Amino acid sequence: MLVSLIVPCYNEEESLPILYSALCDVREQVKDKEFEFIFVNDGSRDKTSSVIKDIAAKDKGVRYTIFSRNFGKEAAMFAGLHKAKGDYVAIMDADMQDPPALIPSMIETLDKDEADIVAARRVTRKGEPPIRSFFARTFYKLINKMVDVEIADGARDFRLMKRCVVDAILELDERQRFSKGIFAWVGFRTKWVEHENVERVAGETKWNFWKLFAYAIDGIVAFTTAPLRLATYTGFFFAAAAFLYIIYYFIRAIILRIYDRVPGYPSLLCFMLFIGGLILMALGLVGEYIGRIFIEVKRRPLYIVADEESED
């Protein structure tokens, strides 16, 4: 039985050797399984490529894909899933934040058929800036209100899956991928293993606040059209309010014969600005979805491969 371990790597020259030796330990420990390690180099600017090639030259169990440029972690994970031949497939980060030591027990869980997916989840966000944790928590609350599937807070992309799950994920070959949602969407029995937050061993995180913010918007727009409905409701609310206001003025002028002596310039301006803003926002929202349709219909490949290990 073959187990594939997929590692997306972007500028990980320092962490990779550490991860690789940890993975070798796992391979030693789990004797009854064969392993393939799949490293996907996502257009790193450092020596990640040559580190991977050096490892692969010495170890037959290592396969790799080198992208022609940086396509993002989602594309790298997808490439890895495509390439993986294993009956069990795991995705893990290169920086040791996904403890390789968990893998043997994860394999055991699948062997015992207790679940189809074993996924890791951080129970603490220790070592993370508090503001980042706050926004992350808010995001999960928000997205879970809007989408039908449960997207777990603290869930990482680290998970071991059976073949059937991988095949289901590969069916969803959309361009704008939000894996946390895709993993939840395909379903199957998931068992969660919890662990403390681990800080990366070397290098630095590739995420800053704005990247995460954009990722959050991507996640929401990719999985639900609820924001569009919100725009509809808001529009409806204001139209109704305006209608009542018209009736009020009508009665005032026609029946009560009260006329304004002071022209209501400031209030008018406020309303116009406010409603103008809302219209722009709704338009932008519609644009988000149209933009995504545009990108989806082009059906460009998710990544371009520059180099791969030679099959022999």
List interacting residues with ligand UDP (CB under 6 A).
8-10, 12, 42, 70, 72-73, 76, 93-95, 97, 200, 205-207
Q: Which does 219 bind (CB under 5 to 8 A by kind): ligand UDP, Mg ion, none?
A: none
Strand partners, 192: 119
* Per CB under 5 A, 97 contacts Mg ion: yes
For residue 238, the minimal CB distance to ligand UDP (Å) is 40
CB of 89 to ligand UDP, least distance (A): 16
Residue 109 binding: pick among ligand UDP, Mg ion, none (C-beta 5-8 Å cut-off by kind): none
**Smallest separation, CB 22 to Mg ion (Å):** 15
Interaction of residue 95 with Mg ion, rule CB under 5 A: yes
CB under 5 to 8 A by kind: which of Mg ion, ligand UDP, none does 73 bind? Answer: ligand UDP
120 in Cβ contact with 103 (< 8 Å): no
Q: Quote the least distance from Cβ 95 to Mg ion, whole Å.
A: 4
The answer to whether the beta carbons of residues 150 and 107 sit under 8 Å apart is no
Which partner in ligand UDP, Mg ion, none is near 76 (CB below 5 to 8 A by kind)? ligand UDP
Nearest to ligand UDP of 115, 179 (CB atom)? 179
Dihedrals phi, psi of 191, to nearest 5 degrees: -115, 135
Least spacing, CB of residue 205 vs ligand UDP, in Å: 3
Q: What gap in Å lies between CA 67 and CA 49, rounded to an integer?
A: 10
Q: Which stretch binds Mg ion (CB under 5 A): 61-69, 92-100, 112-120, 299-307?
A: 92-100
Which partner in Mg ion, ligand UDP, none is near 224 (CB below 5 to 8 A by kind)? none
Give residues in contact with Mg ion (CB under 5 A): 93, 95, 97, 200
